[in-house]
Structure 1
Amino acid sequence: MKLFKNIKNWLENQEHLFYLFLFILIVPNIVLCFTEPLPVMAKVTNVLLPFGCYYLLMTLSRNCGKMLWILFLFLFFGAFQIVLLYLFGQSIIAVDMFLNLVTTNSSEALELLDNLTPAIIAVIILYVPALILGMISMIRKRKLSAEFIRRERKRALIVFGISLLSLAGAYLQDSGYELKSDLYPLNVCYNVGLAFQRTALTQNYHQTSKDFTFHAKATHPKEEREVYVMVIGETSRALNWQLYGYERETNPLLSKQTGLIAFPKVLTESNTTHKSVPMLMSDVNACNYDSIYHQKGIITAFKEAGFKTAFFSNQRYNHSFIDFFGKEADTYDFIKEDSIDFSYNPSDDELLKLVEQELAKGATKQFIVLHTYGSHFNYRERYPLENTFFTPDYPVDAERKYRDNLVNAYDNSIRYTDGFLSRIIRMLEKQQVDAAMIYTSDHGEDIFDDSRHLFLHASPVPSYYQLHVPFLIWMSDSYRETHPEHWQAAIDNKEKDVSSSSSFFPTMLDLGGIETPYRDDSQSVATSLYQMKPRAYLNDHNEPRPLDDLGMKKPDFRMLEQKEIKYKEKY
C-alpha cells in the first residue's frame, strides 16, 4: 500500500512529470540511434537537437500536461515510428507509409494489426499513461513554479546551443547529411508534407491527364483475331518458384508448359503495390515516375488501337492509379467491391469466371488485364483448404517461431498461382488464335529469411527478397508461328537483367503489335532491340536510386550476386 502511495505522490509532482514527458518525447530518437546507419555525430545531433527543442517547448507553459497535449502530433509520430521499427527494423516513417494509410483497405490493415500486438502494447504502455497524466494535470490546473521554469529554460538553451555545435560536426563528418532526410522528427514532418502534396496531385489526376493520348495504332492485320492477357500478381517472390530452381514443387503445371519462357533475373523498382502496379500498367518507371500524374495506362493504348478491353481485380479500390488505370477499360470489375461485407475474401479463381465470360464475347481484338491477390499475407487465406499441399500451414502468425508454417502457406499460395496461370493458358489455347500472356508480381516478400528477421514488404529500405520477382511470357502455337521473331527474341533475352517496372509495359505493347511513341523497344524483352540498363529503385521521394544507395545490407547483395538460380527451360 505504501508503494502505491509513493508512486502516486511521485506522479503528482509536476517536476517529475516534466522530466518524464521530456523523456517520452525523445524515446524515438534514442531508438533510432541504434537502428539507423548514420555517422556518430549525426546520431548525436539526432538526439541533442530534437531534445533541445522539446526542452525549450516544454518550458513555454507552467502546466507540463498542457504542453504534452500541444505536442500530441509528435507523440503520434513516435508511436507510429516505434511500430514501424518493430515491423521493419529500421528507417523513419516514409511518405509511402502515410500513403499506405489511405490506399490500404481495411481488411488488409486488420490482418496486419493482428500481428503487431507486441509493438502496439509497447506504444500503449509508453504513451497512453503519459497522456492521461497530462490530462489530469490540466484538469486540476497544476503548475510548475516560475523559478523551475526559468532554471529549466536556461538549461534547455545550453542543450540547444550544444546541439547546434553537434549539427556543425555532423555536416563536417558527412557532407551528405540533410536535416529534411536524416533528422527525426523533421524528416517525418517533411514526408507528411510530401504525402499531402501527392494526395492533392492524385485527386486532380483526371484533370491533368484528360487530354493525354498514346497516338497508338495496331500493326497486326485487322481481320486477325488475337487475345492478350496481362496478369499482375501480388507479393510473389521468385525465390519460391520451382521454375527458378526452388527445390519444392510450387510450379508443377507451368514447369511442363510449352510456349512458356521464365526470366530469372528480374527486379521490381518498388516494393509497394501503390507504386509498382501503376508502373507495370503504364509508361512510368523509376526514372520518370512523376509523369504519372499526366499519363494514362496501357489499357487506353490498346483501346486506341481498336481492342476491346477488360480489367478484373481481386483487390478493393485504393482510390489511386490502380483504380484510374483499371477503369479505363470497356469492362471492369473489382470483385471484392461486389460485396458490402469487408470480410468477403474471394479466391483468384473468381477472376477466371470473368475471363471466360469476356472471351465468350468473341471480339476480334481482346486485351484483358488481371490484378490478383496472389500471395499477400495472410498467406493461409489466399488458397482454398482443398489446395493445401505443404503442411503444416497453420498457425501463420507473424512470428519467427512460425517460419516453417509461414513458408508452407506461402508456397501453397505460389502453387495456387501456378494453377491459376495454367488455367488461363488453357482458356487461351481453346480459342485457337494468336494469343499471349505475360505475368509478373508487383513485388516480393520477407519471411524471416535471415538473421535480420524481416517480415512482409513495403519497408522503407527494401531487401533482396522484396525485389526479386517472377516474370513469365507465354505464347500460343499460332502466335509463335505468326510472330517467330518475338519468340526468338524472348529466348535470346531470358538470361539478361530485366526491370519488371520498365519492361512489362513495352513488352506487352510489342507482343500486341501496338505502336506508340511511348513504347520503348529497348526495354521490351520480346525484341532483339532490348538493352540492359543499370538497376534502379524508386525511393520514398520518387527519385531513382542505384541499389547500393538504398541502405540495403550485405545479405541482400550476396543474394543478388550469387546467381545460383537454376533456370528450368521446359516448353
Structure 2
Amino acid sequence: MFLNLVTTNSSEAMELLDNLIPALVTVVLLYIPPLILATISIIRKRELSVHFIRRERKRAFLGLIVGFASLGAAYLFDGKYELKTDLYPVNVCYNVGLAFQRNAQTQNYDKTSKDFTFHAKPTHATEKREIYVMVIGETSRALNWQLLGYTRETNPELKEQSGLITYSKVLTESNTTHKSVPMLMSGVTACTYDSIYYQKSILTAFKEAGFQTAFFSNQRYNHSFIDFFGKEADTFEFIKEDSLSTDSNPSDSELMSCVTKELAKGADKLLIVLHTYGSHFNYRERYPAKDAYFQPDYPADAEPKFKDNLVNAYDNSVRYTDAFLKRLIVLLEEQHTDAALVYTSDHGEDIFDDSRNLFLHASPVPSYYQLHVPFLVWMSDSYRGTYPTHWATAVANQQKDVSSSSSFFPTMLNLAGIDSPYCEDNLSVVAPSYQMRPRVYLNDHNEPRSLDDLGMRKPDFEMLDQKGIRY
C-alpha cells in the first residue's frame, strides 16, 4: 500500500479526501489532543509516580508473555504465517523497505527494458486497412452492467449493438490501478509480475509488427508503468495534463477528438489504446449533470446513509461509459474496414454493498465487488467477414471463465494477427485453444495467490457462486 503514495496523483487524492471530511475530522479529534497533552507533559517535565510505573511494568510483562504465546500459536496453526508480513510493526518496516526498493526499480525501468523485443511478426494481409482499439476502463464493476444481468438500464446503447460479445465470468488479478493497467497493457500477469521491470507494452508489440500506434489517457501522470507504456506509442497524450489547473476534470468523451484526429491520418495499420476515468469516485464528476439519468445522485458523500445516491451516481457513470463506447464503435464502423474493439476495466468497486459497509477499492484483501469486471469484444462487419473463425471462437468462449489481466493482451494480438513468443494463444478468448488457468490474485507483495488464500469473506464467495464464477 505504501507504493500508492508515489503512484497516485495529487488531484485524485484530493478528490477522494474532499469526500471523506467527516472521517478525517474524527481521526484528528481522536489523535491530536492526546499528542498535544503528551507534548505539554514533556515540556513541563511531568513525571509518573513510582506506583504507576511498577503497576504498568507488571501489565507490560504479562502482555509480553501473552504476545509470545500468541506468536507461537500463529506459527503452530498457520503454516503461512511470516513475521515480515503478519506481525506489526515488523510488517510496516518490511513494507516501507519493499516500497523503496520497488520504486527504485521502477525509476530504473528505462535502462532495464531498453533492449527488450517481442519479436512480433504480422500474419494478416498487408494490403488491407486494419484498426484496433483497446479501451481500459476505470473502477467499473460487472455487477452494474445491464449487459451482464443488471436490472437497471445502464447499457441502452450497447444492448442494441451488433457484433458485440460480452463475457460475464471475468475477474481482474489486481484491485489497484497502478498494477492492473500495466498487466492489461502487457504480457505480464500476476504469475509473472516481476518481469514488468524489463518488458515493454502492447504498443511496442504492434509497432514491431508495422502498426502506427497511439495512446490517449484521461488520467494524470502517475510516474510509473502506465506512463512508461503509454509513451511507447508513436502519438500519446494525457489530456488532463494539457490543463494548467489541477482541478481540470475533462470527461472521457473528450478523448473522442483524439481518436478522430488519429483516424483521419489514414494509417493502414493502426492501434489506439485509451485509458479512461470511467467510474472513479467522485462518481458525480464522471458525467455531465444533464446526463444524470438515475436520480437523486446528490448528496453522495462516502457514508452508508447515502448509498442509494451513490449507486445512482455510479450507474450514471456506467451509462456514460456505455454512450462513450457506442460513439467509438460508430467511428470505427464509419471507416468501412476491418476493425475491432476490446474493453475491460482495471478493477471494480465496493459501494456499501453488504453488512461490512466496504467502500472504494485497493483494500489489502479484495472483495467480490472489486474483482468482477466487464469484458467486451466488438468486431466490425468487415472484420467478421474476413476472419469468421475469430468471431465464431469468441462466441464459443463467451460463457467461459476469464482473467482480464491474463487475456486482454493475447486477445488483442490474436485479433490483429500478430505472432510473438510472448503471446500465449491459449489465454486469448478468440483462440480455439483458449483455456482458463487456475485463478490467482496479485497481493501487496506481488505474489500470486489463489482466491481462497487471500482472506476473502463468506459473502464474497457466495457472490462468486451466485454468478457461476469458478475460483
TM-score interval (norm. to shorter)? over 0.9
Q: Please point out which of 349, 352, 356 is paired with 1:452.
A: 356
Matched, 1:429 2:333: yes
Residues 287-334 of structure 1: per-residue CA shift (max 9 Å, x gap): 011110010000000011111100000000000000000000010000
The structural deviation recorded for 1:174 is: 3.2
The structural deviation recorded for 1:143 is: 4.3
Matched, 1:523 2:427: yes
Matched, 1:288 2:174: no
Tell me the residue number matched to 1:204: 108
Higher relative contact order (CA 8 A, sep 6+): 2
Contact 2:401 2:436 in 1 (8 A): yes
Tell me the residue number matched to 1:410: 314
Q: Gaps (5+ residues) in structure 2?
A: none
* Bigger proportion of residues as helix: 1
Distance 1:230 1:459 in 2: 27
Q: Please point out which of 210, 230, 235 is paired with 1:326.
A: 230
Equivalent AA in structure 2 for residue 386 of structure 1: K
Q: Gaps (5+ residues) in structure 1?
A: 1-96, 566-571
Distance 2:460 2:62 in 1: 43
Tell me the residue number matched to 2:446: 542
Equivalent AA in structure 2 for residue 486 of structure 1: H
Higher mean C-alpha deviation, range 146-155 or range 436-445: 146-155
TM alignment of 1:18-417, pairs within 5 A: 97-144=1-48, 156-157=60-61, 159-417=63-321
The structural deviation recorded for 1:246 is: 1.0
Contact 2:351 2:360 in 1 (8 A): yes
The structural deviation recorded for 1:121 is: 2.6
The structural deviation recorded for 1:105 is: 1.6
Task: Provide the aligned C-alpha RMSD in A.
Answer: 1.8
Distance 1:162 1:249 in 2: 56
Distance 1:324 1:286 in 2: 19
Distance 1:411 1:166 in 2: 46
Q: Against the structure 1 CA distance between its residues 166 and 336, is the aligned structure 2 distance closer, same or farther, given a 3 Å change threshold?
A: same
Residues 72-128 of structure 1: per-residue CA shift (max 9 Å, x gap): xxxxxxxxxxxxxxxxxxxxxxxxx21112211222212221233343233222321
Higher mean C-alpha deviation, range 392-401 or range 364-373: 392-401
Residues 201-223 of structure 1: per-residue CA shift (max 9 Å, x gap): 11111111111111111111222
Distance 2:262 2:236 in 1: 11
Q: What is the number of equivalent residue pairs in this alignment? A: 469
Distance 1:564 1:163 in 2: 42
Equivalent AA in structure 2 for residue 192 of structure 1: V
Higher mean C-alpha deviation, range 331-340 or range 137-146: 137-146
Residues 178-220 of structure 1: per-residue CA shift (max 9 Å, x gap): 2222222222221111111111111111111111111111111
Q: Against the structure 1 CA distance between its residues 533 and 564, is the aligned structure 2 distance closer, same or farther, given a 3 Å change threshold?
A: closer
TM alignment of 1:505-516, pairs within 5 A: 505-516=409-420
Equivalent AA in structure 2 for residue 497 of structure 1: D
Tell me the residue number matched to 1:66: none
Q: Against the structure 1 CA distance between its residues 186 and 305, is the aligned structure 2 distance closer, same or farther, given a 3 Å change threshold?
A: same
Distance 2:274 2:463 in 1: 30
* SS at structure 2 position matched to 1:501: helix
Task: Pick the structure with greater CA Rg.
Answer: 1
Equivalent AA in structure 2 for residue 233 of structure 1: G
Higher mean C-alpha deviation, range 450-459 or range 265-274: 450-459
Distance 1:166 1:525 in 2: 48
Distance 1:416 1:238 in 2: 15
Residues 528-554 of structure 1: per-residue CA shift (max 9 Å, x gap): 010111111111111111111111111
Q: Output the TM-score relative to the length of structure 1.
A: 0.79
